[in-house]
Amino acid sequence: MKIKELRLHPAAIADGPLRSSYGRHAPYALRTLVELKTTDGITGISETYGGDGPLAALEAARPLVEGRDPFQLTPLWMDLAQRAEQDRKGGDRSQTYLVPGENPLDVHTRTYAALEVACLDVIGKAVGKPLCDLVGGRARSSPPFSAYLFYKHGGGGGMGDDAREDEYGECLTPESMVAQCKQMVAKYGFKEIKLKGGVLDPDQEIETLRQLRAAFGPAYPLRIDPNCAWSVETSVRVGRKLKDELSGGGYLEDPAAGMDGMAEVRQRLLAEGNETPLASNVATTAFEHLPVAQRTGAVQIVLSDPHYWGGIRNQQHLSKFAEVLGLGLSMHSNNHLGVSMMIMAHASACCPHLTFACDTHYPWQTEVDEVVLGGRVPIVDGCVHIPDKPGLGVELDYDQLARVSERYRKLPYRKRDDEAEMRKHVDPNWKRILPRW
């Protein structure tokens, strides 16, 4: 069997005006759906970052993909990884200043990941096995995800005639965040809670976590992620004030910028007897970051993501690597559709060492844009069950795909730019400043 054709489908999916230290989400998030057609008539699918950059990188890989045996993933990795080596000499692979999916030094790892998943989907369909069972089987069949809360402005995303209903409403206070969380937990049954911070004054975010703890109790572990918006001083102050709220399975995620900043936060908290672990998807984005993170104490929990760590098999390597280094492991996310939901579910299912419920932005997208045949992937009791179907276990709905691709073509932007959205809607002079507090 050979890969006959690579097909790429850009997609624009409605997204509410969610806030983070990067700025404000645009009315549509961008994704790319990937199809591999084989000589045996099998189609493998995948999903990855969107916009013209990721699309061009996948397009550039076409000569490496078409004509290749989909089972031969190692040589594909070697072809793409060699390029990655050349690209990243001396560069900064962190996500401190760039949103995930935009760091040019990661581009080949991301491209490989999208292609690897589509090849594994082909292989799964060829042998009649779910993807996670192809790579050694499952540590769990229903991986858990967490409620991912965002401060947000009013609006449910989309533009003009396509403006969407706002399911959760404006949320810029501790009280409205508790309401958002209750609504999300009631709908999806999540058992762990993550708050995207770095938006309001840190004291208001502290108050938000306190109110969440009061409303949900210690059975629901809490985390907060300001994406490096705080100085070391502020991070230590917040860590100190939230010691109780972040205990019992919670963590403090990327409070300060850089490995040095994170290490200093950790040392100062430990010196006060505060063992709140630090998690990161910003400082640690590649295998070479882990020994440093462990040695300096900068990171205790690595937030993986098969989309930029190099696919599902690399996710398994990461699980082992983290275990050996004594680091915890969970998973980061970005806005995504059902295909990525299944990528994340299979990646979580096949990793023995996964120590926290994973992030997902899935509640922020709706049925209207779903490209999975039959509709949204169900989240029940906070978990995504791996169906007894070959490969990823989902197929594309081509009518829906045509709609979201058409919307992409009509969009005036081709790249995520949260800073531009802030300037357009909130403050014409807004700039992302690190640290802001």
Which of these segments, 55-63, 116-124, 152-160, 328-336, binds ligand GKR (CB under 6 A)?
A: 328-336
Q: Does 208 bind ligand GKR (CB under 6 A)?
A: no
Q: CA-CA distance, 36 to 46, in Å (whole number)?
A: 9
Query: Among 225, 264, 370, 421, which residue interacts with ligand GKR (rule: CB under 6 A)?
Result: 225
User: What does the per-residue mask of binding to ligand GKR show for 97-126, with x meaning CB under 6 A?
Assistant: --xx--------------------------
Q: Does 334 bind Mg ion (CB under 5 A)?
A: no
SS3 category, 269: helix
Residue 253 vs 369, nearer CB to Mg ion: 253
Q: Does 370 bind Mg ion (CB under 5 A)?
A: no
Query: Among 95, 281, 316, 334, which residue interacts with Mg ion (rule: CB under 5 A)?
Result: 281
In the set 307, 332, 336, 361, the catalytic residue is 332
The per-type count for the chain, helices as H runs and strands as E runs, is 15, 12
Q: CA-CA distance, 370 to 340, in Å (whole number)?
A: 11
Q: Does 225 bind Mg ion (CB under 5 A)?
A: yes
Residue 253 vs 418, nearer CB to Mg ion: 253
DSSP 153: -
Are the C-beta atoms of 418 and 26 separated by less than 8 Å?
Answer: yes
Which of these segments, 68-76, 217-225, 318-326, 402-410, binds Mg ion (CB under 5 A)?
A: 217-225
Residue 87 vs 419, nearer CB to ligand GKR: 419
* Number of residues that make up the chain: 437
CB of 225 to ligand GKR, least distance (A): 5
SS3 category, 17: coil
Indicate if 196 belongs to the active site. Answer: yes
* DSSP sequence for 284-316: --STTHHHHHHHHTS-SEEEE-HHHHTHHHHHH
Number of Cβ atoms within 10 Å of the Cβ of 18: 26
Query: Among 334, 360, 365, 400, which residue interacts with ligand GKR (rule: CB under 6 A)?
Result: 334
User: Residue 426 CA to chain centroid, in angstroms?
Assistant: 25
* DSSP sequence for 349-396: HT-S---SPBP--GGGS-GGG--BTTSPPP-BTTB-PPPSSSBTS--B
Q: Which does 314 bind (CB under 5 to 8 A by kind): Mg ion, ligand GKR, none?
A: none
Residue 23 vs 390, nearer CB to ligand GKR: 23
CB of 343 to ligand GKR, least distance (A): 16
Residue 263 vs 301, nearer CB to ligand GKR: 301
Q: CA-CA distance, 201 to 62, in Å (whole number)?
A: 47
Q: Is the peptide bond before 352 cis (omega within 30 degrees of 0)?
A: no
CB of 23 to ligand GKR, least distance (A): 8
CB of 20 to Mg ion, least distance (A): 9
Sign of CA dihedral 324, 99, 365, 48: negative
CB of 22 to Mg ion, least distance (A): 11
CB of 13 to ligand GKR, least distance (A): 13
**How many C-alpha atoms does 68 have within 13 Å on its Cβ side?**
22
Q: Does 196 bind ligand GKR (CB under 6 A)?
A: yes
List Cβ neighbours of 32 (8 Å cut-off, separation of 6 or more). 8, 9, 10, 11, 47, 48, 49, 50, 54, 55, 58, 114
SS3 category, 404: helix
User: What does the per-residue mask of binding to ligand GKR show for 266-305, with x meaning CB under 6 A?
Assistant: ---------------x------------------------
Indicate if 346 belongs to the active site. Answer: no
Query: What residue has token string 């190692």?
Result: 74
Q: CA-CA distance, 386 to 342, in Å (whole number)?
A: 8
Residues forming contacts to ligand GKR in the complex (CB under 6 A) are 18, 20, 22, 99-100, 196, 225, 227, 281, 332-334, 359
Which active-site residues does the annotation give?
196, 332
Residues forming contacts to Mg ion in the complex (CB under 5 A) are 225, 253, 281
